Structure 1
Amino acid sequence: MPHDPGPAFRALHRPGDPFVLANAWDLGSARMLAALGAQAIGTSSAAHAFTLGLPDMGRVTREDALAHAEALVAATPLPVSGDFENGFGDAPDIVAGTVRLSCEAGLAGLSIEDTMPPDGAAYPFDLAVERIRAAAAAARACPRDLVLVARADGVMTGVYDLEEGIRRLRAFAAAGADCLYLPMPPSMEDVARICAGVDKPVNAIAAGSFTAATRADFARAGVARISLGSALARATHRLIRDAAEAMLGPAGDFSALSRSVPGGDVDALLARGAREG
């Protein structure tokens, strides 16, 4: 049987001692993050879409998302978790199929949302739970360990409140999810409330107002995992935008390029972060 990254990935999920799931968008970013100390890599649906010239939410096919994830698996020795939006379909059996394909791609985990692209409408409660139950059954049938993350995205999209989000997380846990994720609650106090209100490890995101928090802040809230989503990719895109506006504008200012990383340093990081063999 091929190497199973799942047990090591699962062991990283310790409430109150969070690791950073470093979301990459191509082989180079994955290898640099691995070389710089990341313990696991995540895909990002938005960041991957940007590389294809597409907007976020439901524009990337399941085939392309899985191929991208599989390429990241081959790029570094680290466990990789897939950000697979709603599982690429509404029906529970489609979600289960995405889980099976994730296992075949060598992933250590994946996340499934309870909202529908592209408008972010929430699935009815019972269907949302049934989708996670089908995903969990497929994960348990995988010949390797697979960490299933169930996401309650309706607070972030504004379609339900925090109480409903926590109710959904509890139901997802009972349906077999291994890790729970409610992106962008109003405050760190609400993150702590989420962690205290469920009995599975919780993922939180370092984005928006939460970029002002430290790992210690997330730890005190009880978080087990801190993901970046597309934030690191968007920070890179901001540099591209700002530098291009300065270079191509009336001032013709190239000073932003003085902050670039020397090519030799990049080469060394890419080599250090690569999978051997």
Structure 2
Amino acid sequence: MHDPGPAFRALHQKGTPFVLCNAWDIGSARVLAALGAEALATSSSAYAFTRGLPDGALTRDDALAHAEALVRATPLPVSGDFENGFGEAPETCAETVRMAAEVGLAGISIEDTALPGDDAYDFDLAVERIRAAVDAKGGLRRDFVLVARADGILRGSYDTDEALRRLKAFEAAGADCLYAPMPPSFEDLERICREIGKPVNALVSGPFASYTRADFARIGVARLSLGGSLARVTHRALIDAAEEMLEEGSFSLLKNSVAGAKVDEMLKSVES
């Protein structure tokens, strides 16, 4: 099997952020590849939307099958949004790493949230989980980029100081990239980049969508992921057009649609 890991790892350069484009199906993956994406990622929320489910409702088997479909859709490296590793036990996180590598993923992210709730795992357990994932990664026969996430800021279970304590411990445990989604401010994100030695991922969503790639480069971000943001843009278009049709009897927003022939050409231009 082709090893996408080295090319994917090489994209992670502090101060030179690349856009990790989160796709939600084969079509979106191929369109993003045709438009020049350098790497793709799954999104747990975006894929759940396609299944008519809320975020967090998918199983590990669901996530693996979806990820494998995206891996086969284009030649680009793909990273998996694998929530909390689909289990509390460190051994489960390790098993998830091995299974993710088997379907061809270039890496995955694992968060420290005790899903399906919003509480964070205790500090020691959170670190042990990442250490187990790192050990599993070390046993693979190819490269694999492990991202350790501190999601407590996003979920309201701890502050930036605690996020940094966890990120530093995850870094020391051997994680390749560190990620604390949606810190309180851009200044907090800058602090995270300053205090973490390894590449830092930033989520471009909500207020952070107001910043440019140059802004993120200036503070040392290495990777920009979109989460479900791009998928929600398509839902915004769907909702606006449907509301206009069904409530006002007007179809003017359909004029904004892209030509089917253009999409067809993009889909044909990408070979896995």
Q: TM-score range by the shorter chain?
A: over 0.9
Aligned partner of 1:167 in structure 2 is: 165
Q: Which residue of 2 aligns with 1:272?
A: 269
Q: Distance in 2 between matches of 1:223 and 1:210?
A: 13
Letter in 1 for 2:59: T
Output aligned runs, 1:189-268, within 5 Å: 189-249=187-247, 251-268=248-265
Q: Which runs of 5+ in 1 are unaligned?
A: none
Letter aligned with residue 244 of structure 1: A
Q: Per-residue CA shift, 1:231-277, capped at 9, x if unaligned?
A: 0001101111111111111x2111111100101100011112331xx
> Is this contact kept in 2: 1:33–1:273, CA < 8 A?
no
Cα root mean square deviation, aligned: 0.7
In structure 2, stretches of 5+ residues that fail to align are none
Deviations along 1:213-246, whole A, 9 cap, x unmatched?
0000000010000000000001101111111111
Identity of counterpart residues, as a percentage?
66
Q: Report the counterpart of residue 47 of structure 1 in structure 2.
A: 46
- Paired with 1:52 and 1:183, the residues of 2 have a C-alpha distance of 24
Report matched runs for 1:1-277 at 5 Å.
2-57=1-56, 59-249=57-247, 251-275=248-272
Query: Matched residues in 1 for 2:208 and 2:66: separation?
Result: 28
The one-letter code sitting in structure 2 at the alignment partner of 1:170 is: K
Distance 1:190 1:24 in 2: 28
Distance between the aligned counterparts of 1:161 and 1:206, measured in 2? 19
Matched AA of 2:194? A
User: Quick one: which amino acid aligns to residue 264 of structure 2?
Assistant: D
Give the drift of 1:199.
Answer: 1.1
- Deviation, 1:177, is 0.3
TM (normalized to structure 2)?
0.99
In 1, Cα distance between the equivalents of 2:19 and 2:199? 14
User: Matches of 2:114 and 2:231 in 1, distance apart?
Assistant: 23
* Paired residues of 1:188 and 1:221 also in contact (CA < 8 A): no
Shift in Å, 1:120: 1.6
Greater Cα shift, 110-119 or 29-38:
110-119
